[in-house]
Amino acid sequence: MSLQLTKEQKLVQNMIREFSRKVIAQTAAERDQTKEFPAENFKKMAELGLMGMTVPEEYNGEGSDAVSYVLALSEIAYSCASTAVVMSVHNSIVCDSINRYGSKDQKEKFLPALADAEIIGAFALTEPDAGSDPVAQETTAVLDGEEYVLNGTKRFITSGKNGGVVIVTAQTDTSKGHKGISAFLVPQGTEGMSVGHVEDKIGLRASDTVDLMFENCRIPRANLLGSEGDGFKIAMTALDSGRIGIAAQSVGVAQAAMDEAVKYAKKRKQFGRSIAKFQGLRFIFADMAVSIEAARQLMLSAAAMKDREENFSLQASMAKLFASEMVNRVTGQAIQMHGGYGVTKDYPVERFYRDARVFTIYEGTSEIQRLVISNHILKDKRK
Q: Which residues are catalytically annotated? A: 363
Largest CA distance in the chain: 79
In the complex, minimum distance from the CB of residue 382 to ligand CAA, in angstroms, rounded to a whole number? 8
What contacts 321, CB < 8 A, 6 or more positions away?
366, 369, 370, 373
Residue from 113, 193, 256, 368 in contact with ligand CAA (CB under 6 A): 368
Pick the piece of the chain touching ligand CAA (CB under 6 A) from 37-45, 139-147, 193-201, 368-376.
368-376
Q: For residues 148 and 232, which CB has a smaller minimum distance to ligand CAA in the complex?
A: 232
Element (DSSP H or E) covering residue 158: strand 147-158
Cβ nearer to ligand CAA, comparing 20 with 82: 82
Is residue 135 a contact residue for ligand CAA (CB under 6 A)? yes
Contact code string over 41-60 relative to ligand CAA, x by CB under 6 A? --------------------
Give whichever of 178 and 277 is closer to ligand CAA, judged by the CB atom: 178
Exactly one of 158, 162, 169, 291 binds ligand CAA (CB under 6 A); that residue is 158
Residues in contact with ligand CAA, total (CB under 6 A)? 23
- Minimal distance in Å, beta carbon 127 to ligand CAA? 10
Pairing of strands 121-124, 165-171: parallel
Q: Per CB under 6 A, does 132 bind ligand CAA?
A: yes
> Are 45 and 87 a contacting pair, CB within 8 Å?
yes
Q: Smaller CB distance to ligand CAA: residue 134 or 164?
A: 134
84: contact with ligand CAA by CB under 6 A: no
Distance CA 135, CA 127 (A): 10
| 270-to-127, 247, 257, 261, 276 alpha-carbon distances in Å | 51, 36, 21, 15, 10
Angle ∠(167,170,176) on CA atoms, nearest 5:
135
Instruction: Return the range that interacts with ligand CAA (CB under 6 A); candidates 124-132, 189-197, 270-278, 338-346.
Output: 124-132
**What Å distances lie between residue 382 and 156, 200, 320, 372, CA to CA?**
27, 36, 21, 10
Nearer to ligand CAA, 150 or 275 (CB): 150
**Measuring CA to CA, which residue among 216, 245, 71 is closest to residue 147?**
216
Q: Do the Cβ atoms of 110 and 122 come closer than 8 Å?
A: no
Find the part of the chain contacting ligand CAA (CB under 6 A) among 12-20, 43-51, 129-137, 298-306: 129-137
Q: How far is the CB of 207 from ligand CAA (least distance, A)?
A: 9
Of 202-241, binders to ligand CAA (CB under 6 A) are 232-233, 236-237, 239-240
HSE (side-chain half, CA atoms, 13 Å) at 79: 22
Residues 177-196 binding ligand CAA (CB under 6 A) are 178
Nearer Cβ to ligand CAA (52/134): 134
CB closer to ligand CAA out of 236 and 294: 236
Question: Which residue stretch of 50-58, 131-139, 162-170, 279-287 sits at the interface with ligand CAA (rule: CB under 6 A)?
Answer: 131-139
Whose Cβ is closer to ligand CAA: residue 241's or residue 255's? 241
139 binds ligand CAA (CB under 6 A): no
Contact present, 316 and 243 (Cβ < 8 Å): yes
Q: Which residues contact 63 (CB under 8 A, 6 or more apart)?
A: 55, 56, 57
Rule CB under 6 A: choose which of 77, 258, 265, 372 binds ligand CAA. 372
- 75 within 8 A of 20, measured Cβ to Cβ: yes
Q: Which of residues 338-367 bind ligand CAA (CB under 6 A)?
A: 362-364
CA dist 55 and 237 (Å) reads: 16
For 186, the enclosing helix (H) or strand (E) is: strand 181-187
Give CA–CA dist 67/46, Å, rounded. Answer: 19
Q: Which stretches of the chain bind ligand CAA, using CB under 6 A? A: 89, 123, 125-126, 132-135, 158, 178, 232-233, 236-237, 239-240, 313, 362-364, 368, 371-372
